[in-house]
Chain A
Amino acid sequence: MSTPFIRRREALQRLALLVGATLSLPVQAALRGETTAGVPLVFSEAQQRLMADLADVILPSTDTPGAKDAGVHQFIGHVIGHCTAPAQQELFLKGLQQTDALSQTVFRKPFSELDSPQRTEVVRQLTQREKPFFLTLRELTIVGYFTSETGATKTLAYLPIPGRFQGDLPLKPGQKVWAL
């Protein structure tokens, strides 16, 4: 109650409750636009490249495009830069630094110059040594990817106007989950 954030959050919950329990993600999203508070954190080009490379290890290109192709680092950069408190921003920046430091220690190269198995190894070590950073990165990569045009339409089944509803159908082989 004491901060504007809490008040807005409660307002948001009221909105969500108003429409009942069947909110889909985009409807929830519709309720959660954003205004920027404080000074946004702007990432350097090198940092952005690192974020893109890291995201691409978490959701790599397979038979469908990866996180880098989907521009997920822009999403991550926006959320960390505009939507988090300074402490969280510092934690994230430190995580980026540690990623390069770890790369140097283990492989004597910056992360950007590592090959794919080496990158995977560094990220595996991040899950242990920089767990809060890794979890934030992973969460934002997943959300950013599956709500991007590439992720939603190429990797998932995107259906903007279903036109009908059927609650029980055979799951077809290879059926991907609905993007919405």
Chain B
Amino acid sequence: MNLNIDAVKAQTYDAIVIGSGVSGGWAAKELTEKGLRVLMLERGRPLEHVSGYTEALKAPWEMPEAARLGDLALKYPQAPPDAAKTVPTYWMPGADTSYRQEKPFRWLRPDIVGGKSIMWGRQSYRFSDIDFEANAKEGIGIDWPIRYKDLAPWYSYVEKFAGISGEKLGLPQLPDSEFIAPMDMFLVEKEVRKSIEKNYPGRVMTIGRTANLSEAQKVHVDNGRSPCQYRNQCIRGCPYGAYFSTQSCTLPPAVKTGRLTLRPNSVVTEVIYDAQKQRASGVRVKDAQTLESQEYFAKIIFVCASAMASTALLMNSVSERFPNGLGNDSGQLGHNLMDHHFRIGANGQWEGGQDRYYYGRRANGIYIPRYRNIGPDKRDYLRGFGYQGGGGRQGWQHQVAELAFGASLKEELTKPGLWNMGLIGFGEQLPEYKNRMYLDKTKLDKWGLPMLVFDAEIGENEKKMRVDMLNDAQEMLEKAGLINVKTYDQGSVLGQAVHEMGTARMGRDPKTSVLNGNNQIHAVKNVFVTDGACMTSSACVNPSLTYMALSARAAHFAVQELKAMRI
């Protein structure tokens, strides 16, 4: 008996954080810094900062031959792109067979400590009140329970620590962050920017806002980080700690408190509900390798496993009180699945600037903030889109006469080609109840978890928006004097943007939402969900910065509530 009590004690923490990505990292940092003993559970393998990034500094000729093919790899059918050799097992092997698609869906799953914070695109933008108010104004979905003013101080808080490079614009639709120095633009980008400013009142083009240290301020240096070296190989992991990841940014301070226990290879299978206390008491975990089961207990549980995985975990946590999934009184759990739709835009070339060149490899692009349905602009669809993209000057890959060979070809390929520039639209998707994910409990994986099924697609509003996304890109590039402007629409399947959102949405009314304005499950006050699952609408901007702000805010709220003995 005593033994059991001791065992339970040893497995009891103040808080459990499920997931170690962008959201989980922030939750762990804030909770440990506020004095809580935290257990962070990650289903992936350990990935040590710096020493774990084994491919980070390799030259092209140190990579496998087929890896050197670049884009051409697609032409060589027996050279399947397999990240395993070059970015060893950052991604979950066989993830594409771990779910079922009723409608086409892509679910990209990391398999490491740090989650997608290691491989993310780093683009960081604030939501605005235009985003927070849109649902209520237009009668779409439900109203957000928070407004910009609730989140603004938390945006500032996370930005100062993470380091967001960008340029102040003072736009109502895209509030400025606490910026470190903006990165430079390529000449061709500067030309297109001038043309947009001249030809389109109300439209601007700015340098991408990115979580890369364009300069390392004291707060960053003190956290062991160095400035960006402009190698543009972020996705392999940064040995300089120059971009925001769990490992570079939120994990070190959490570890420093001495109150963090990080347990990799830990697949959380269930959140345990205590009907008497009307609280969650802990979690069940399966070791990813040994498949041994274990239980851990805590006063507070932060679910930060990524939108789809967190939702699946709540759905799999059934009890008499919650037969349809933990906290799912509203029946909304798994519904209102959103992503951004993209893969549409235009590219062109520029004949000017032949006597100009560039230096360094910028791990960032440009950004054209949303301008549709802003101010006097009114379209036949709701919401809008922004453009990412960028320019450059072609190198040895540039087109030369296809039958050319010999010394002249060699000479030609060592000279810079034309400047070029592309725009990719990223559009908002409206929340719709019919867009959903659910569990197929007849199909279990080796950890005993049910298979996820995706049944979601973009709708008419998004399709109408895409007409503008394509035409506007072409028009802006042509107006800027680019030549050979070509449009493309590669179609957009949900999940491809890896901005999955909305399946455990926040709201004021427990009858129509899963979480309240503090990311707390309405009916289970000690469980918080702060990843993409919580989002009530998607806006058109990259969402990770908002997850950071929401996670930090919810963690501080949770500690307050704990001290006040309300949870």
Name A residues whose Cβ lies closer than 8 Å to a Cβ of B: 4-5, 7-15, 17-38, 57-60, 62, 64, 66, 74-75, 78-79, 82-85, 88, 120, 123, 127, 131, 134-135, 138-139, 142-144, 146-149, 152, 155-156, 158-172, 175-180
Contacts and interface: CB of A to CB of B under 8 A. Distances in A.
Contacts of A12: 73-74, 81, 83
Contacts of B67: 29-30, 32-34
B119 interface: yes
B61 interface: yes
Interface stretch (B248-256, B301-309, B359-367): B359-367
Given A9-B81, A20-B388, A152-B60, A33 B358 contact: no
Given A25-B397, A171-B356, A32 B66 contact: yes
B184 A57 contact: no
Contacts of A9: 74, 80-81
10 contacts: A11-B95, A24-B361, A28-B70, A29-B67, A34-B79, A79-B76, A84-B79, A160-B231, A170-B355, A172-B357
Given A155-B410, A162-B229, A170 B356 contact: yes
A19 B60 CA distance: 19
B498 A29 contact: no
B406 A149 contact: no
Contacts of A78: 65-66
A31 B231 contact: no
Interface stretch (B3-11, B152-160, B263-271, B413-421): B413-421
A7 to B, nearest CB: 5
Given A5-B77, A14-B106, A144 B68 contact: yes
Given A29-B67, A178-B361, 6 more contacts: A8-B81, A20-B424, A27-B235, A33-B86, A143-B70, A177-B396
Interface in B109-147: 116, 119-121, 123
A60 B80 contact: no
B245 to A, nearest CB: 13
Given A22-B365, A35-B85, A82 B78 contact: yes
Contact of A35 (B72, B82, B364, B392): B82
A164 B406 contact: no
B497 interface: yes
B96 A11 contact: yes
Contacts of B389: 21
Contacts of A149: 59, 61
A22 B82 contact: no
B356 A26 contact: no
A45 B483 CA distance: 47
A14 B342 CA distance: 12
A14 B388 contact: no
A167 B424 CA distance: 20
A36 B185 CA distance: 40
B364 A168 contact: no
B73 A32 contact: yes
A156 B361 CA distance: 15
B395 interface: yes
B60 A180 contact: yes
A57 B397 contact: no
Nearest to B65: A78
B76 A134 contact: no
A11 to B, nearest CB: 6
A29 B353 CA distance: 29
B104 to A, nearest CB: 8
B69 interface: yes
Nearest to A146: B396
Interface stretch (B18-26, B186-194, B319-327, B431-439): B186-194
The DSSP consensus for interface residues of chain B is loop
B59 A152 contact: yes
Contact of A22 (B95, B120, B362): B362
A60 B392 CA distance: 28
B68 A147 contact: yes
Contacts of B120: 18
A166 B86 contact: no
Contact of B229 (A37, A147, A163): A163
A75 B82 contact: no
Contacts, number: 311
Given A18-B120, A60-B406, A146-B413, A33 B84 contact: yes
B390 A79 contact: no
Interface string B387-417: 0111010011100001101110111011111
Nearest to A89: B78
B358 A167 contact: yes
Contact of B68 (A5, A66, A75, A82): A75
A139 B362 CA distance: 27
B330 interface: no
Contacts of B388: 20-21
A2 B176 CA distance: 45
A15 to B, nearest CB: 7
Nearest to B233: A27
Most buried by A among B60, B84, B97, B496: B60
A17 B497 contact: yes
A19 B496 contact: no
Contact of A31 (B79, B121, B235): B235
B167 interface: no
Contacts of A142: 396, 413
Nearest to A36: B78
Given A60-B410, A167-B190, A29 B68 contact: yes
A62 B409 contact: no
B71 to A, nearest CB: 6
B360 A162 contact: yes
Contacts of B76: 79, 83-84, 88
Nearest to A138: B405
B354 interface: yes
B65 A34 contact: yes
A17 B343 contact: yes
A120 B364 CA distance: 43
A17 B69 contact: no
A169 B356 contact: yes
B359 A62 contact: no
Given A11-B81, A24-B361, A177-B414, A165 B355 contact: no
B236 interface: yes
A83 B365 contact: no
Contacts of A123: 405
Nearest to A127: B403
A11 B413 contact: no
B498 to A, nearest CB: 5
Contacts of A62: 407, 410-411
Contacts of A175: 357, 416
A30 to B, nearest CB: 5
Given A19-B121, A170-B356, A8 B68 contact: no
